[in-house]
């Protein structure tokens, strides 16, 4: 099967799980469910849960076991976007070609919808871990890995560095640290989660970690390049603002040529890490896709 | 030992756990740790974890096993206060006699500090559940109970009702539902958590649930009475605003006399639920304290 067929197959599973399972998880206050769904069903790429399902399949696991964890990660990602877009943070009006959550529901509801998605992610992780009676310890290890990645040691810590970077120029190393935490940690958690649930061998986990770090970085470098070279209608948000806002990005720090070379190298390192693993074609193609995507 | 000695003993254990364990949990970005600690160590009553420890002792459990869960609940409570105080929510400047989190650290950091505390609560719950190898299922049940109480079916759902109540007068039943969710759910989780961890019998859990619902309501009714009759210096925030803001409270809906009678009845029902249980003196005195407190 081709890469794009696989992506479709995985993301369909994700969409189906989210659409079927969420209402069952009881969100009795209708307005907040609406606000949560607005961002959750906004046509995101589902990169993180797609990666989880791909690794699960590669390791011969049961996708039904991994899906709740994969989707919980997508919920955490979605909450972070809602809070990031708020006026007190990036103050963004558009996301994925639509008005941001607070533009539609107001700031207070957007704040609570973000809180609600983060909390719901943990309700899902705890429920899924509780239900797998014979694999609770591995599920708990995976859930804890996700929690660490989402927290102050990971994504939230990266957001703090990002916020402080508004006041001064970051060094190249600080920029890498910021992205390894802000976006990299959750991408890595998505890739490691199935390995932890399926109790993969240590060398497999290590290879996947290396792969994850490099595609995480590649993903961000490409984002920075798209801000300069992308089509804002395809990307779904206004572009060309990084240089104007004096923002520290791979392009503003390295220049476009060196940024592209860094992107190429990141993809190369990612591929190197997994190319000797069985059935790693999808992961290899994903690395290439991340560098070539136009949105 | 007297009630106040017990309260001191329990809350000292909570303070010690929070102060010793939190830095160990690695919050590498110093500024956000500072903001999280500012609210977490702001001299709150620690009502929720104190209740957890009291129930743990009553049931003959080991407080060390319950402490991480009790403190995670306190973290969830603290995050909800930070987000509630934000300009887009209640826009409060003072809390517990000090400027609110965003007044000191700015809105963006306060938002992230709240997110960080919520996430850290789950890191703690997952780590504690993972570590208790011989009681993982019961710990997971407790953690899941807490997550449900904190989420859209509980506390966040109550905040949504509260927010929508700004536009119209609530009925008495809606007011009760709002408080049972907004503050009641987490108080109930604090009381049930040790029972779930210690696998208490169903009739014990049921009695504790009834007790929790009534003291949760009593707590809120007393809050509403304090807004009218309290001393703002002792309470630590400006008072007398409920009537002016046309807010739905037990006092504005029932009048002060009927609110006091409702408070008396709630305490009576709470006491009734646990009075035949062994060693329930602390819970009985706590119910009375909630009604009599001046802050």
DSSP H or E run through B99: strand B98-99
Which residues on chain A are in Cβ contact (under 8 Å) with B153?
A: 26-28
Percentage of chain B beyond pLDDT 70 is: 98
Which residues on chain B are in Cβ contact (under 8 Å) with A119?
A: 118, 147, 150-152, 156
A26 confidence band (pLDDT: 50, 70, 90): low
Strand B98-99, strand B94-95: pairing: antiparallel
A191, β-bridge pairs:
none
The answer, yes or no, to whether residue B48 has pLDDT greater than 80, is yes
In this structure, what are the phi and psi dihedrals at residue B99, rounded to the nearest 5 degrees? -60, 145
The answer, yes or no, to whether residue A54 has pLDDT greater than 80, is yes
B80-106 exposure pattern, b = at least 16 Cβ within 10 A, e = fewer = bbbbbbbbbbbebeebeebebbbbebe
pLDDT for res B183: 95
The span from the CA of A218 to the CA of A292, in Å, is 10
- SS3 percent helix, strand, coil of chain B, rounded to 5, is 75, 0, 25
Window B:25-44, CB contacts with A under 8 Å:
26-29, 31-33, 36
Of A226, A210, A295, A236, the closest CA to residue A259 belongs to A226
The span from the CA of B115 to the CA of B102, in Å, is 13
Tokens of A26: 């009881």
Average of per-residue pLDDT across A82-94? 94
Residue in the block written with tokens 């329990």: B10
pLDDT for res A295: 83
The answer, yes or no, to whether residue A25 has pLDDT greater than 60, is no
pLDDT (tens digit, 9 = 90+) per residue, A220-249? Answer: 999 999 999 988 888 877 787 777 777 889
Average of per-residue pLDDT across B110-138? 96
B26 confidence band (pLDDT: 50, 70, 90): low
Contact (CB, 8 A) for B82 and B42: no
Q: Which fold has domain A3-292?
A: Farnesyl Diphosphate Synthase (1.10.600)
Q: CB-based contact (8 Å) between A161 and chain B?
A: yes
Average of per-residue pLDDT across B125-149? 96
- Closest partner residue to A118 among B89, B107, B119, by Cβ? B119
pLDDT for res A238: 79
pLDDT for res A1: 63
B23 confidence band (pLDDT: 50, 70, 90): low
Tokens of B221: 């009714």
The answer, yes or no, to whether residue B24 has pLDDT greater than 60, is no
First to last CA, chain A: 23
Contact (CB, 8 A) for A169 and A243: no
pLDDT for res A216: 96
3-state secondary structure (DSSP) of residue A95: strand
The C-alpha of A173 sits at a distance from chain B's nearest C-alpha, in angstroms, of: 16
3-state secondary structure (DSSP) of residue A98: strand
Which residues on chain B are in Cβ contact (under 8 Å) with A29?
A: 152, 157, 160-161
The span from the CA of B233 to the CA of B218, in Å, is 22
Q: CB-based contact (8 Å) between A131 and chain B?
A: no
The span from the CA of A129 to the CA of B142, in Å, is 12
pLDDT (tens digit, 9 = 90+) per residue, B169-221? Answer: 899 999 999 999 999 999 999 999 999 999 999 999 999 999 999 999 999 99
**Domains of chain B: which residue ranges?**
3-292
pLDDT for res B290: 93
Tokens of B50: 């104190």
Tokens of B207: 């009695």
pLDDT (tens digit, 9 = 90+) per residue, A92-126? Answer: 999 988 999 999 999 999 999 999 999 999 999 99
pLDDT for res A97: 86
Tokens of B64: 């060390």
Residue in the block written with tokens 């993809």: A267
Calculate the alpha carbon distances from A18 to A41, A46, A191, B215 in Å. 9, 11, 19, 37
B114 confidence band (pLDDT: 50, 70, 90): very high
The span from the CA of A285 to the CA of A2, in Å, is 10
Average of per-residue pLDDT across A133-156? 96
Tokens of A128: 């899924």
3-state secondary structure (DSSP) of residue A94: strand
The C-alpha of B126 sits at a distance from chain A's nearest C-alpha, in angstroms, of: 6
DSSP H or E run through A66: helix A63-85
pLDDT (tens digit, 9 = 90+) per residue, A254-283? Answer: 999 999 999 999 999 999 999 999 999 999
pLDDT for res B295: 84
The answer, yes or no, to whether residue B27 has pLDDT greater than 60, is no
pLDDT (tens digit, 9 = 90+) per residue, B244-274? Answer: 777 889 999 999 999 999 999 999 999 999 9
Average of per-residue pLDDT across A154-169? 89
Tokens of B73: 């609940």
Residue B89 and residue A109: Cβ atoms within 8 Å? no
Q: CB-based contact (8 Å) between B292 and chain A?
A: no
pLDDT for res A30: 81
Q: CB-based contact (8 Å) between B86 and chain A?
A: yes
pLDDT for res B25: 52
In this structure, what are the phi and psi dihedrals at residue B95, rounded to the nearest 5 degrees? -155, 130
Best A68, A75, A145, A156 residue to mutate vs chain B (most B CBs within 10 Å): A156
Calculate the alpha carbon distances from A88 to A78, A102, A163, A182 in Å. 17, 11, 11, 18
The C-alpha of B85 sits at a distance from chain A's nearest C-alpha, in angstroms, of: 11
Length of chain B: 295
The span from the CA of B119 to the CA of B121, in Å, is 5
pLDDT (tens digit, 9 = 90+) per residue, A165-215? Answer: 887 889 999 999 999 999 999 999 999 999 999 999 999 999 999 999 999
Which residues on chain B are in Cβ contact (under 8 Å) with A140?
A: 126, 129-130, 136, 140
The span from the CA of A51 to the CA of A263, in Å, is 19
A98, β-bridge pairs:
A95
């Amino acid at each position: 099967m081709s890469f794009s067929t696989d992506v479709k197959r995985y993301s369909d599973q994700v969409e189906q799980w989210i659409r079927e399972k969420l209402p069952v998880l009881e969100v009795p206050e209708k307005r907040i469910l609406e606000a949560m769904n607005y961002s959750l069903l906004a046509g995101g790429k589902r990169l993180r849960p797609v990666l989880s399902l791909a690794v699960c399949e590669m390791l011969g696991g049961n996708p039904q076991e991994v899906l709740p964890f994969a989707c919980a990660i997508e919920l955490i990602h979605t909450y972070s976007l809602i809070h990031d877009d708020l006026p007190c943070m990036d103050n963004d009006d558009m996301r994925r070609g639509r008005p941001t959550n607070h533009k539609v529901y107001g700031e207070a509801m957007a704040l609570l919808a973000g809180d609600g998605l983060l909390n719901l992610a943990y309700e899902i992780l705890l429920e899924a871990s509780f239900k797998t009676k014979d694999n609770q310890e591995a599920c708990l290890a995976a859930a804890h890995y996700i929690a660490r990645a989402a927290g102050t040691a990971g994504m939230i810590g990266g957001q703090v560095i990002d916020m402080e970077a508004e006041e001064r120029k970051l060094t190249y190393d600080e920029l890498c640290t910021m992205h390894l935490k802000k976006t990299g940690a959750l991408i890595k958690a998505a890739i490691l989660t199935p390995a932890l649930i399926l109790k993969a061998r240590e060398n497999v986990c290590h290879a996947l970690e290396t792969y994850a770090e490099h595609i995480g970085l590649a993903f961000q470098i490409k984002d920075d390049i798209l801000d300069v070279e992308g089509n804002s209608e395809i990307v779904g948000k206004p572009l060309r603002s990084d240089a104007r806002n004096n923002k520290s990005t791979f392009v503003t720090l390295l220049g476009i040529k060196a940024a592209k070379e860094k992107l190429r190298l990141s993809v190369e390192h990612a591929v190197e890490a997994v190319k000797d693993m069985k059935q790693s074609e999808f992961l290899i193609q994903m690395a290439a896709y991340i560098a070539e995507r136009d949105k």
